[in-house]
Amino acid sequence: MRRASRVAALAAGLALVAAAPAGASHKHGVDVDTIATGLDNPRHVAVSHHGDVYVAESGTGDDTGSPKSCFQSAEGNVCTGNTGAVTRIDRRGRQQRVVEGLASFAQPAGEPNPRNNAIGPHGVFVDGDDVYVTNGGPTGPWRNDDDQTIILRDPTLVSEDPVSALYGTLLKLKRHGGYRVIADLWRFENENNPDAGVGNPLVDSNPVDVYADHGRFYVADAGGNSVVRIGRFGGIRALSVFPNITMPNPFAEPPPAPQTVPMQAVPTGVVKGPDGALYMSQLTGFPFPVGGARVFRIDPRTGAARVYARGFTNIVDLDFGRDGTLYVLEMDNDSLLGEKTDGALFAVHRRGGTPRRLDEEGTLTHPGGLAVGRKGDLYVSNHSAEADVGEVLRIDLD
């Protein structure tokens, strides 16, 4: 397994669809309402100052049946398509794809998990009236099972399907549909490969989250094990690079098989805290240990990082409430190698202390993103590794 395999890890005819009637449940004083349904591998969410909710859909890979570009990846045998999208749920509950045609790859029909576990649009951030989206992937693609020949986005994948040029980029959505590329994180990785110095020589960029800050951008790159800073004039540099940690290999056979493996950090979220620092969450790489994921506090000037909160499992996103509470979302509470698919939602008090779990087991199934709304309610994408059945939940913490 090369990276976090399940973290992944436009145009015309935008139809306005009324949201399905919201379902509601009530658990331990927490009210949960479904505000969007029928999404394809939904990942991070964001809330505008108007109260509109945006969710990045990683798509379903190729849906034509005649893919132009297929390859092997941590997600299996996958094919590229233009099925990535961004959906908006307005204050009236109406659900609309405001941008379509973004790059996506997933297993095609005939494979074990067709259309699921896609990689494509992942991070989304709203800054005033501007919406920014990261288009993830490709996560270390290769061909030829015998020698695992590594292939690159440029020139190979782009020559096969031009939409592949969107892999590893930061996009700004246009007001009336469409988008423009404002930063190419994959190219930066290809030319600099910051985490090669900590033992990861593979060219691998999978930008999964973005925070916009007065013309600058901070991007969590799950493939590059880094938080990248994009300046006002487009310059890109690695602000913080996170090293591997040596872990026991749960599938080790008797020697000489390796008894340990280098676990990668796999950043998944980046936000600005009330103290002006950046906070980064990690999924962790293989073997995805229970309790092994942490939240880091990063100095936005120097990139110096320290652990802020620990003891989590496979964190997929985080956000702060207005009172300084940090909310942390786990994609899989018993590890991606565990038998269950329950996620979990935690609150960390602004003064620190033991994280407090907010949801009841069975509420979340492989959730993919978290955002705090204007009134303190939480928005969470659910069934994030599945096509057609993805949803967005609104959680009221009364």
pLDDT of residue 255: 73
The vertex-48 CA angle with 47 and 49, nearest 5°, equals 125
Distances (CA, A) of 165 to 62, 185, 206, 296: 15, 11, 13, 31
Asked whether the predicted pLDDT for residue 13 surpasses 50, the reply is: no
Bridge partners of 394, per DSSP, are 33, 379
pLDDT tens, residue by residue, 63-103 = 999 999 999 998 899 999 999 999 999 999 999 999 999 99
CA distance 225 to 322: 29
CA distance 9 to 70: 17
Asked whether the predicted pLDDT for residue 17 surpasses 70, the reply is: no
Poorest-confidence range of 114-123, 224-233, 249-258?
249-258
What is the three-class DSSP state of 198? helix
Report residue 185: phi and psi, to 5°.
-70, -35
Distance of alpha carbon 233 from the chain centroid: 25
Question: Do residues 376 and 397 make contact, with C-beta atoms less than 8 angstroms apart?
Answer: yes
Question: Do residues 57 and 123 make contact, with C-beta atoms less than 8 angstroms apart?
Answer: no
pLDDT of residue 315: 98
DSSP line for 129-189: TEEEEEE----S-EE-TTT-EE--IIIIIHHH-GGGGGTTEEEEE-TTS-EEEEEEHHHHH
Q: How many Cα atoms are found within 13 Å in the side-chain-facing hemisphere of 71? A: 26
pTM of the model: 0.91
CA distance 239 to 221: 11
Asked whether the predicted pLDDT for residue 9 surpasses 50, the reply is: no
pLDDT of residue 165: 98
pLDDT tens, residue by residue, 183-200 = 999 999 999 999 999 999
Asked whether the predicted pLDDT for residue 10 surpasses 70, the reply is: no
Token readout for 92 is 């009236």
pLDDT of residue 394: 97
pLDDT tens, residue by residue, 293-309 = 999 999 999 999 999 99
Percent of the chain scored above 70 by pLDDT?
93
Bridge partners of 261, per DSSP, are 247
Question: Do residues 289 and 263 make contact, with C-beta atoms less than 8 angstroms apart?
Answer: yes
pLDDT tens, residue by residue, 340-375 = 999 999 999 998 888 999 998 889 999 999 999 999
pLDDT of residue 292: 96
Query: What do you get for the CA distance between the two ends of the chain, in Å?
Result: 41
Residue-averaged pLDDT of the chain: 91
pLDDT class of 252 with cuts at 50, 70, 90: confident
* Residue 272 or residue 3, greater confidence: 272
Task: Give the start-to-end residue ranges of the domains of the chain.
Answer: 16-22+51-314
Question: Do residues 130 and 144 make contact, with C-beta atoms less than 8 angstroms apart?
Answer: no
Asked whether the predicted pLDDT for residue 3 surpasses 80, the reply is: no
CA distance 202 to 192: 11
pLDDT class of 382 with cuts at 50, 70, 90: very high
Question: Do residues 218 and 229 make contact, with C-beta atoms less than 8 angstroms apart?
Answer: yes
DSSP line for 310-371: EEESSEEEEEE-TTSPEEEEES-TT-TTSS--B-EEEEE-TT--S-EE-SPTTS-BS--EEE
pLDDT class of 254 with cuts at 50, 70, 90: confident
Q: Does a cis peptide bond (omega within 30 degrees of 0) precede residue 287?
A: yes
Instruction: Kindly report the CATH number that applies to the domain delimited by 16-22+51-314.
Output: 2.120.10
Percent of the chain scored above 90 by pLDDT?
82
